[in-house]
Structure 1
Amino acid sequence: MRRDLDLALVRAFLTVVESGGVTRAAAVLGMSQAAASQQIKRLEEALDCRLFERQGRGLVLAPAGERLLAQARRLVAMNDEVWSSMRTPQFEGEVRFGVPYDIIGSFVPPILRGFAKAQPRVRVSLVCEDSKIVREQLKSGGVDLALTTETECGRHGETLRTDRLVWVGTPGGDAHLKDPLPVSLGAPTCVFRPIAIEALGKTRRDWRAVCEVSRLEPVYAVLEAGLAVAPLLRSSVPERFEIFAGAAARAAKLPSLPEFRINLYAPPGLSPAARDLADHVRASFSGRPRGNQMPNN
């Protein structure tokens, strides 16, 4: 005879694992410790196995609990996906989303993928320009919301992440050792350009411009050819390139570069669809706890 699992019991099991113990899980679930323990006991009775074993003053997953963990995560995730898709209002229309070249490939694809799945009737028009231009289009109404890379955060903005600007080149190349230093600086509107020039000037490092466009395809081509170095955000650097830091940076007389902020601008008066896209952006940057955490009381 088929039997159905009580999803509340499965969720309690996951919460104990991910929060680090029954006491903390009870707080997350909004119930007493005794009630949380009772839910774990009911799940063990339903599955006819022990899910946790006591080790010292804490708990560890029993073999059966380890087997259940991945399946429980899939089950709860599927439940939450179905619930969200059925309960989330279905919007229509268009959202114009401004994003700078330097982070579009690193951060935007999963945001758009998740939003398209949640709101299939909303069309997202992507506007890719330097952060300075994106901010101007936000003010003029050319885009509805925007991501930017800036040293500060302006009005109606919120910082989602900070990241350091670093010097990047090709592994095994010698462009970083040349004098004058060949640099890919981006277009005049690129926010990294004046920062890099100022840093090079302070250290009296002679340099020459090799590539002065903001689109990343030609920048990457110049880097891969070993013709120049470029300032990029650390989190956006493809694995095929080398980040010059520490001794390598000092040997090449590459100046230290500052941290930048990845900001989201979602001004008042947005449409419901634009507000929902903004929520998807925030969720993507906030991330979620991962990995097998052993519970302890």
Structure 2
Amino acid sequence: MRNLDVTTLRSFMAVADLGGVTKAAGFLNLTQSAVSMQLKRLEELLGLDLFDRTGRRIALTASGEQLLGYARRMVALNDEAVRRLTDQEFEGEVTIGIPHDILYPSIPNVLKKMRATYPRLKVNVVNENTHQLLPNFEKGMYDLILTTEPTQSGDTLCALPLVWIGSPGGACWRRRPLQIAQSRNCSFRPRMIGVLDEQGVDWESAVDTGSDRSIEVTVAADLAVSAMIEGTEPAQLEVIDHGGTLPDIGMQYINMYGGEAVKGEGVTAMADLVRQAFREMGAQAKAHAVTHLKSAS
């Protein structure tokens, strides 16, 4: 009887999930040669080719894909048995990067659920914009990131509309030139300016800053309008009911990168909770849009 080694299966999962021996070795804190040797022994044990090495990126063969399903179950069962029999609570650390504009309202609830399920797990939440998060994720600085992008990429969780935001009861949006306030680093700014120019709406920048707080204060004082993802606006601001006076800004995709099972139970659990929270948010936005269309007609 031939026996599969759990350590070797972890390496196999890492290579499959991370797309190569180099990344897998870094994640596992092993040398590339050690990981390659484990894969070779696994293939020799089974008498099968598990990887297609003809292309630039390593890919699984049909046999490799079949084994991956078994490997995930075997490793998960091994870890569960060790935890329960040794009475060890899950410990670890997860670092997640999130843009400022989608921290609320979903992320606090996600963190509460993580705390309840994994009380000894340390979760580091880092706030950066999408342009910073993507390259830093590639460098291995994060286990998981969320991005706001105009196109689908990674694991797309939902699509949400960009809307005009102003001071409650404010009138700034009626005046021309339109005063706008958007962080110089915000990915929404070029699109907001683009649609205003396309529609011939005269505008001026009310403030030049990289601070999201400064933007919120300016808008709350009814000195300017801003663009945000619907449902993420802070309590002191509101969606402007402009009746078509301002142009449509379009949709924004919430994409997630990371969360592979190979990175551990904590990362996988975090990814599942984030995925659920934002998909619910997307469903609510769709329901709101349908209601709005019915009331308008």
- Please give the range of the TM-score, normalised by the shorter of the 2 chains: 0.5 to 0.7
The one-letter amino acid of 2:271's match is A
Which residue number in structure 2 is paired with residue 204 of structure 1? Answer: 200
1:270 aligns with 2:269: no
Instruction: Specify which of 203, 214, 221 is matched with residue 218 of structure 1.
Output: 214
Which residue number in structure 2 is paired with residue 164 of structure 1? Answer: 161
> What's the offset of the Cα at 1:207?
1.5
> What's the offset of the Cα at 1:215?
4.4
* Residues 101 and 214 in structure 1, CA contact (< 8 A), matched pair in contact too: no
Q: Number of residue pairs matched?
A: 198
SS of 1:227 mapped into structure 2: coil
Which residue number in structure 1 is paired with residue 247 of structure 2? Answer: 255
122 and 228 in structure 1: CA distance in 2 versus 1, 3 angstrom threshold: same
264 and 214 in structure 1: CA distance in 2 versus 1, 3 angstrom threshold: farther
Which residue number in structure 1 is paired with residue 183 of structure 2? Answer: 186
The one-letter amino acid of 2:206's match is V
SS of 2:227 mapped into structure 1: strand
Which residue number in structure 2 is paired with residue 72 of structure 1? Answer: none
Deviations 1:14-68 (A, max 9, x none): xxxxxxxxxxxxxxxxxxxxxxxxxxxxxxxxxxxxxxxxxxxxxxxxxxxxxxx
- TM-score, structure 2 length as denominator? 0.60
* Residues 259 and 270 in structure 2, CA contact (< 8 A), matched pair in contact too: no
214 and 102 in structure 1: CA distance in 2 versus 1, 3 angstrom threshold: farther
SS of 2:268 mapped into structure 1: helix
Deviating 4+ runs (over 6 angstroms): none
Which residue number in structure 2 is paired with residue 149 of structure 1? Answer: 148
Root-mean-square deviation over aligned CA pairs: 2.7
Which residue number in structure 1 is paired with residue 93 of structure 2? Answer: 94
* Residues 259 and 267 in structure 2, CA contact (< 8 A), matched pair in contact too: no
The one-letter amino acid of 1:227's match is L
Select the structure with the greater relative contact order (CA < 8 A; seq sep ≥ 6). Answer: 1
Of the two, which has the highest radius of gyration? Answer: 1
> What's the offset of the Cα at 1:196?
0.5
* Residues 180 and 206 in structure 1, CA contact (< 8 A), matched pair in contact too: yes
CA distance in structure 2 between the aligned counterparts of 1:135 and 1:246, rounded to whole angstroms: 34
Q: Structure 1: state its 5+ residue gaps.
A: 1-85, 290-297
* Residues 98 and 146 in structure 1, CA contact (< 8 A), matched pair in contact too: yes
SS of 1:236 mapped into structure 2: coil
> What's the offset of the Cα at 1:153?
2.2
Which residue number in structure 2 is paired with residue 110 of structure 1? Answer: 109
173 and 287 in structure 1: CA distance in 2 versus 1, 3 angstrom threshold: closer
SS of 1:187 mapped into structure 2: coil
1:282 aligns with 2:278: no
The one-letter amino acid of 1:257's match is I
CA distance in structure 2 between the aligned counterparts of 1:208 and 1:287, rounded to whole angstroms: 36
